[in-house]
Every structure is written in C-alpha cells, then in structure tokens.
Chains A and B, each alone.
Chain A
C-alpha cells in the first residue's frame, strides 16, 4: 500500500478538486452540511493538503467525511477552483477500499446503500423504483405515498407509465440482455470489486459486533442497524 496521499492523488476528482486551498472558508460558509453537522470542508482540504499521513488516516476512519451531501455548492464559490465535494468523493472511495469506513457510524451506512441502491441497479436497471420506497421505511412520504404504494399499477397506468411492461416508457421492465450489459460494465470497471469490498468489511464488522447479517437483501439485523442508528453526536 502506497502512501495515502499518493493514493488520493490517483483519483481524477482529487486532482481536479484540490488546487491548493488558501483557507478562506467560503466553502464552509455556503455548505449545507456545515450548517447541520460538525463539518467544515475548509478543514478537510487543509488536512489533506498537509500530506500528514496520520491525519489523513484519521480522516478516512472518521464520521466527518460522510457528512457532505455532494450538492457541490462549494464548486461554484471557491476562488481557487477547488471542489471540496470532489475531495470528499476521493476520500470516501479510499476509505471503502481500505475498509476504514466501518470504523464510523456514518461510514457503516455504505452497506445499506450498497444493498438497496446497488442491488436495485443490478436487478432492475434503475437506482430508484416505487417498490423500494417502502412506506414503513419512509414515513416522511405521507399518506399519499401509502395510497400510491397500495395502488401502484393502477396509478402508474393512469399517469401514462409502462409499469413493469416491455418496450419504452417510464417504469418499464429492463430486458435481461440489457441488465447483462450493465452487469458486465460493473464487472469490467471495478464496481463489482467495490461492492465485494463493502460486503467483506461489513460482514467482518457485523461479526465483530455480534449482529446478524445475511448474504444478500435488506432483511437482516445489520442492515436495519446501520440504516437507523444515530448516536446523536453528529449535529451542531
């Protein structure tokens, strides 16, 4: 394993995202995450550009790097054309590759995202479909969504969608040969490796914590644990 900074510097987003930070703090002023979490993108950039390996490792194991919402408001405002959001993306990638993400409560959530969104992309060809927005997991969606969930085929037909049918149109079934192409792209470009890495480290963590984890799907204790737990120390 090379130096952490050198590994970050192999990520094109890191190269594009950090041209030298002058610590002005404009990114922090505009940042929605900084208003809500104990989060300061200026400090992140400053830590990374220090090239201090110990500090970078601490960052990769921290809660902090998981607070950004990737709205990229910082990109518009930085007078040096830095993008702290891109730096975060490079840090998160490396944290997952090294398995450090399971050291933090927010980092462990990557398992839930991989199972829910990653699974849906490979099985259905979409990130989000009505079926994965289960009302019990999404109380904020309100009674209208409950009604939609109970009548999805009827309502989608009324809206002109092609719900779970062949051919073009919204919410259509993606053909098996198309899903096969997407799966091959995921294999060739390293996404399957990333998924396997998230799975491996999450399994290790679940075993260490003594929490039940199943080989696939979201019906397991570890999924619900990382999806719902909040120790209450993250917010301002």
Chain B
C-alpha cells in the first residue's frame, strides 16, 4: 500500500478534539476509587496546559451504571444526559468532556441515536422541558478526557520531569495498555484509532518514552460486566475475565498496566489481590503483582507530581517497584498519612500478596 493510501485509511480513525474551553462531567467510579486522578487531570489541564475547564455544581451521574444494569430505561438516561447538555448550553460552552468511559459511550450513543431517530430527540426535549424547564444545544465536540491528554501528549512531554524508562537499564518500560470497552467498541469512529488500532493510550506511552506490549488478549474486556460485578453472586464472571488477561500478558513481563477507564483500572488492581489470596498466584516474579495506573496517574508521574498526592496509596497492588524503576523519589513513611500529615493508621497486610 502506498503511503498516500495508508494516510487516507488512517484518516478514518482520527477524531476532532477541541483545543480548549471544556465543560467537564464527572465519573462516579473514578471519584470513588481514584479521586486523586480527577484532581491530577484538572491540575494538568488547568495549571500545566492553561486550559479552561468548567464544572457546574448541578451536574450529576449520567445514570450509566443504572442503564447498563437495565433498571433505568433509555429515555431516562437520555433525558439526564440532555440535562447535562442544558447545563453546558447555559454556561456558554460547546465542548463536553465526560471523564468516565461508560458515560462517554452513552453520550456517544445518545447523539448517534438522535441522528438516526430525530423523533427520539424531539421526545427527549419534551421530557426535559416537562421535568426541568430546560433546553439545550447539541455539543459541537464530545471527547473523553483521555483524548485530551492524548492530544497534548507532546506538550506534556516538553514539561515532563520523568520518562517511562527504566533508570537502571536505560530501556523503555514495557506497558500493557487497556482501553475501556465502551470507549470505541460500540462506536469505533468515536475513539482515536477506532476499535482496531486504538492509540489513545499507546500514543501517550510512546510519546513519554515507554514501549507498548501487544499480547493476545489485549482487547478483551476487564470483566466488569455491570451486574456481573455489582451483585456478589456474579463476581466469578468478573474475576475470570481479568484472570484471562493477566495470564495472557504475563509472559511479556509488563512493568505496569495503564487504563483509560476508571472501572477497568480498579478491577485490574483489585482482582490481582483476589487471585493472589484465593489461589496464591501473582503475575510478576516477586509476588507483588503488576502495578496498575490510571492514565491520569501516569501523566501525573511523568509531570513529576508526588505519588502520594495523586493517590497511588489507594491501590491494592503496590506501586513502589514501578516508582523505583522510574527513579522517582518517595518517602514510604508518608504513604498513608492523612490530609494534614497526621497518622490515620495503615491498611493491614494481605496474606499472600506482598505489599
């Protein structure tokens, strides 16, 4: 294939990502399990890149987990999302940036459905008016927050303090990247690189000095499965799917895993603990597991932020082996201190997983 042809094919997998002036909507899962990632994202966007990111205190859940556990009807979810469009419109913004992959998938699905079924959009406008007396304009640009970090990856590199390189060997760190299913599997044109060649995370990793591992189950689901995790009786589904991925990536000896979905990051971290305690198995050589980062945490480390400020102490798999490889200095004794530096106790040690 001639280069011109390749460029033309690749053009189908690009997406427009607005430069500035973002209306930000939050992730329920991320604020619960990785609150430091949200703070880190906003710090990078606002302080390091000088972007205008607006948050309205009146925005809520998109209902995504309720929708994908089938207790919330489609019309309800669409109307809640339409309310967020209304808040965006009222604030004078046109670019909306969900920070959750489930939300991003749903926002994309809503806009796509309205394109094919304009009568549905009309019905939702009526519902929203009846319930809230609000009106909205369709966003001009809808991207996931990881798309924005991808877009500015080279500017982040210019300001970076740390590269994804093993300080001792000088070699690029080997990274497993995991893209949340709803980022591009439902609507491939909505993700950078589509569903076949997603580059939203690999672009960051390579720009910041790391190398990306291509392993057989790279695109397999983390196993969340909504009801398959939320209900205790179903969690075997969830852990089994993560296990399938761990076994597939293990021979490539990853230095860490990074995900662009808060749920995936949490499962890939917590299921390593569960498998270790249940079966005495870890997927590294030292019994400590493979560290898992959110993309915000990866960007924060690259920018030189303190590991304990960005929330790495909230992970069950210890991140210290990764910090050592990166040559990042940290004080272990400060890891579990409270907001004012006071002692608030420490987590107990797992029985098998070494921390």
Contact = CB atoms under 8 A, between A and B. Distances in A.
Contacts of A121: 61, 63, 66, 72
Contacts of B233: 105, 109, 226-230
Contact of B225 (A69, A83, A114): A69
Interface magnitude class on chain A? 35 or more
Interface string B3-27: 0000000000000000000000010
A154 to B, nearest CB: 4
B70 A144 contact: no
B70 A96 contact: yes
A161 B131 contact: no
B61 A184 contact: no
Contacts of A133: 32
Contacts of B105: 72
A227 B31 CA distance: 25
B55 interface: yes
Interface in A175-193: 175, 178, 181-182, 184-191
State the majority secondary structure of interface residues on B: helix
B181 interface: yes
B271 A140 contact: yes
Contacts of B78: 189
16 contacts: A83-B186, A113-B231, A114-B71, A126-B60, A127-B28, A129-B31, A140-B270, A142-B277, A147-B347, A158-B339, A161-B38, A175-B57, A185-B131, A187-B131, A194-B71, A195-B71
| 8 A-B pairs closest in CB distance | A69-B225, A160-B39, A147-B347, A127-B65, A170-B31, A159-B35, A191-B76, A158-B339
Given A117-B230, A161-B39, 10 more contacts: A12-B120, A33-B228, A66-B227, A70-B225, A106-B234, A137-B232, A166-B57, A182-B80, A184-B131, A189-B75
Interface of B: 26, 28-32, 35-36, 38-39, 55-58, 60-61, 63-66, 68-76, 78-80, 83, 105, 113, 116-117, 120, 127-128, 130-132, 181-182, 185-186, 188, 195, 219-221, 223-228, 230-237, 239-241, 244, 270-271, 273-274, 277, 311, 313-316, 336-339, 344-350
Interface of A: 11-13, 16, 32-33, 35-37, 66-73, 75-76, 83, 89, 92-93, 96, 105-106, 109-110, 112-114, 116-118, 121, 125-130, 133, 137, 140-148, 150-151, 154-161, 166-172, 174-175, 178, 181-182, 184-191, 194-195, 198, 226-230, 235
